[in-house]
Structure 1
Amino acid sequence: MKVGQILDYKGHDVISQEAGCTVLEVAKLLGERRIGAVPVTKSGKLVGIISERDIMRGLAIRGGGVLADDISTLMTKSVFTCSQDDTVQHLMGMMTERRIRHVPVTKGGDLIGMISIGDVVKVRMQETEQEAEALKEYIASA
């Protein structure tokens, strides 16, 4: 299965945050939307990603004052992205190897979607169930 198929199912809507806001604003957004990470954009272009983990790490190291800081102090600036043509297996390998849970999907430099580890696990579980059912049918017909 390809990343584009996941986006077709779950949708291409992306909750993003414009660069220049505070860590507290992002924390509120993550909590309100019940999401784990948000891409950071500047003039519509992807410039980073910030996650719950980034915020927790900042709090642990610098204390509550970090909440008033610009998100650029905590966000990851070298963002790993994927395309809608990448396979789920490729994406799963990248997420595992790099220990990341959220990957923005881009096309021609534009942000067109977001894939989480939960999306990948859900697809893999569905594929595994379909394979198991096909094997049961094959065995039953033999």
Structure 2
Amino acid sequence: MHVETILQTKGVAVHTLPETGTLADAVALLNAHNIGAVVIRSADGRVTGILSERDIVRQLGRTPSTTLGMVIGACMSRDLVSCERTTPIEDVMERMTNRRVRHMPVIEDGRLVGIVSIGDVVKQKIEQVEQEAEALREYISG
């Protein structure tokens, strides 16, 4: 099973913001769409990083009075962990675990084509295990 399977189910919509936006802009977007991370783009549209709730909370811990006015580029994660549509789900799980990330942009040929979260991956794995269990029950009873 590959990332494409998740994208077919959840869709390919990805919320993005520019590096020059503020953390207040990011918080508003995260709240409006009930999401945990936003992909960050440069002025020319390239994906340059990701900003998660965790990044914002860590910044709040360092500079609580000025955090919301900060530019996104100052506290986003630039060391991006990404995948492609053809990446196996097991590889995504391993990368997320090893790098301790919960959101992974799907990038192909330098173009953002989707995003998957740890919740998406877990949901897909549970569905796969349930299907396998049902197939085994049918095999045994048939």
Query: Shorter-chain TM-score: which interval?
Result: over 0.9
Displacement of 1:88: 0.5
Corresponding letter in the other structure for 2:34: R
Corresponding letter in the other structure for 1:23: L
- Aligned residue number for residue 49 of structure 2: 48
- Aligned residue number for residue 137 of structure 2: 136
What percent identity do the matched residue pairs reach? 40
Residue 4, structure 1, aligned to residue 31, structure 2: no
Question: What's the secondary structure of 1:64's corresponding residue?
Answer: coil
- Aligned residue number for residue 68 of structure 2: 67
- CA–CA distance in structure 2, aligned partners of residues 108 and 89 of structure 1: 22
Corresponding letter in the other structure for 1:98: R
Moved more, 10-19 or 102-111: 10-19
Counting matched residue pairs gives 141
Corresponding letter in the other structure for 2:28: K
Displacement of 1:8: 1.8
After TM superposition, the structure 1 = structure 2 runs for residues 78-117 of structure 1, keeping only pairs within 5 Å, are 78-117=79-118
- Aligned residue number for residue 13 of structure 1: 13
Deviations 1:58-107 (A, max 9, x none): 00121131110101111001101101110101101110111100000001
In structure 2, list runs of 5 or more residues that go unmatched.
none
TM-score with structure 1 setting the length:
0.96
Corresponding letter in the other structure for 2:58: R
Q: CA RMSD in A?
A: 0.9
Residue 120, structure 1, aligned to residue 116, structure 2: no
TM-score with structure 2 setting the length:
0.96
Displacement of 1:18: 1.5
Displacement of 1:57: 0.6
Displacement of 1:109: 0.6
Displacement of 1:15: 0.8
In structure 1, list runs of 5 or more residues that go unmatched.
none
- Aligned residue number for residue 27 of structure 2: 27
Corresponding letter in the other structure for 1:48: G
- Aligned residue number for residue 39 of structure 1: 39
Question: What's the secondary structure of 1:48's corresponding residue?
Answer: strand
